[in-house]
Amino acid sequence: MKNFGIRIMASAALALCLILSVPGRTSGSEPPTTGASARPDHVTLTWTGDPATTMTVTWRTDATVGESFVEYGQGAALTGKALRAPGTARDFTSDLGTARIFSATLAGLAPGKRYTYRVGGGDHWSETSSFETARKKIDRFTFLIFGDSQAPIDGDAPFGIWRRTALSAIRENPEARFMVLTGDLTDWGLMQAHWNAWFAASRGIIDRLPFMPVSGNHEHYGSRKAARQDYYLAQFTLPGNGPEGLRGQAYSYDYGPVHFVVLDSQQVEQRQQGDILTPQKEWLERDLAGSEAPWKIAFFHRPPYGTKLNRDEAEIRDAFCPILERHGVDLVFNAHDHGISRTPPMKGGVAMEKASEGTIYLVVGHSGGKTYKDNARKEFHDFFYNPLDQPNYWVLEASEKKIGVKARKVDGTIIDSFEIDSKGTFKQKEQLKEN
Ligand SMILES: [Fe+2]
């Protein structure tokens, strides 16, 4: 065993994120517009219930639309027998005005089947899309993880890099069942124009694969102060099983043999609203104690074992790591530093021999274009790579006995690849030379 004596340093990251100008706002004498119309957009799949029998669909219209529906049916096309589920409306007023967000959870679906659907009503419908429900018994499944997609929204292809990364990951991994984005979806999450650009780039992606997001610090930046995560939470419909007052910011779900936990690590941004860590810690204890899943995986944005020089997330490490490690969480995926790294299995700041004795912390790189030159291997890293040349994504394949993890560049190059099995054995597979 090796004690790394982790240094505690105050985080001054927020000071680097001062906002000096306001891109994306309607200019001149034109009144701002939400970008929404009677025709639905921002169609997104998430799960708020059992992935085998439910699917939650969220979409947006302008505030003139009174009723809107999901029309859906099994098979490759909608027929006269299509079912209709009414959307529940919630109005969201952003810096661009008020839009209407609808969501509906389709229930009683058949496991392991493809459904075709569209959303809307009257003369205004979205394009037809489709999804597949989870099988009742899942022996093995694959899913995708992406780091920060954040990008400026100026230029002719805002979030184009994120779109290319996501499409490439889906094309190369057609068996993937869902996707996770580990925070900093947008650059300025308190400006609706940034969300509009992100959703435009995500069309044909998050309406086909369930999309389970994590909030990041950039979800708090913008031209005005907003309460907690109101823009982020308005855009998505997320599981409501998190701690009271932080529903959607923290949540958990199960898929096959894996229990997934999502946490909000943005205490710095939410200090004025109070302590968001204590309620999450209490909830996390209960949530993990209540799971008998063979594997447990956690996601949150700020990394307890990050890659960026002069950055240390001691507050988050002290809050979450003891609980994650005590309850045998196998893998923790973090973002924020835009580097790629992996620790040995850690317990209390100490590297353990077997994967089953500790928690492996990974920093996931980036799915957008933003890179940091001042990323470096630190004393607690078993692997480090700074993906300066290309964005990257992660492919995980999980079965009861084994989890395989691969970080890939968009061109397919494997950056890091390893397996852990139910006996606690860690097996290194392909790996790129550290840079
Ligand atoms: Fe971040």
Distance 337 CA to ligand 1 centre (A): 7
Point out the least confidently predicted range of 214-228, 298-312, 414-428: 214-228
Distance 367 CA to ligand 1 centre (A): 12
In this prediction, residue 160 has a pLDDT band, given cuts at 50, 70 and 90, of very high
pLDDT in tens, 9-33: 333 333 333 233 333 344 455 767 9
Give me the residues near ligand 1 (ion), CB cutoff below 5 Å: 184, 216-217, 336
Confirm whether 30 is domain-assigned.
no
- 127 with 183, same domain: the answer is no
Point out the least confidently predicted range of 1-15, 226-240, 328-342, 420-434: 1-15
Distance 385 CA to ligand 1 centre (A): 18
- 153 with 248, same domain: the answer is yes
pLDDT > 70? residue 289: yes
The whole-number pLDDT of residue 223 equals 65
The whole-number pLDDT of residue 23 equals 36
Number of domains in the chain: 2
**Last residue of one domain, picked from the residues 106, 132, 158:** 132
pLDDT in tens, 68-80: 999 999 999 999 8
The whole-number pLDDT of residue 159 equals 94
In this prediction, residue 213 has a pLDDT band, given cuts at 50, 70 and 90, of very high
pTM: predicted TM-score of the whole model, two decimal places: 0.92
- 68 with 111, same domain: the answer is yes
Distance 282 CA to ligand 1 centre (A): 25
**Last residue of one domain, picked from the residues 75, 97, 132:** 132
Q: What is the CATH number of the domain that holds 46?
A: 2.60.40.380
- 171 with 285, same domain: the answer is yes
Q: Out of 22-36, 113-127, 148-162, 217-231, give the one with best mean pLDDT.
A: 113-127
pLDDT > 50? residue 258: yes
**Last residue of one domain, picked from the residues 100, 132, 164:** 132
CA distances from 291 to 97, 403, 424 (A): 42, 18, 19
Distance 98 CA to ligand 1 centre (A): 27
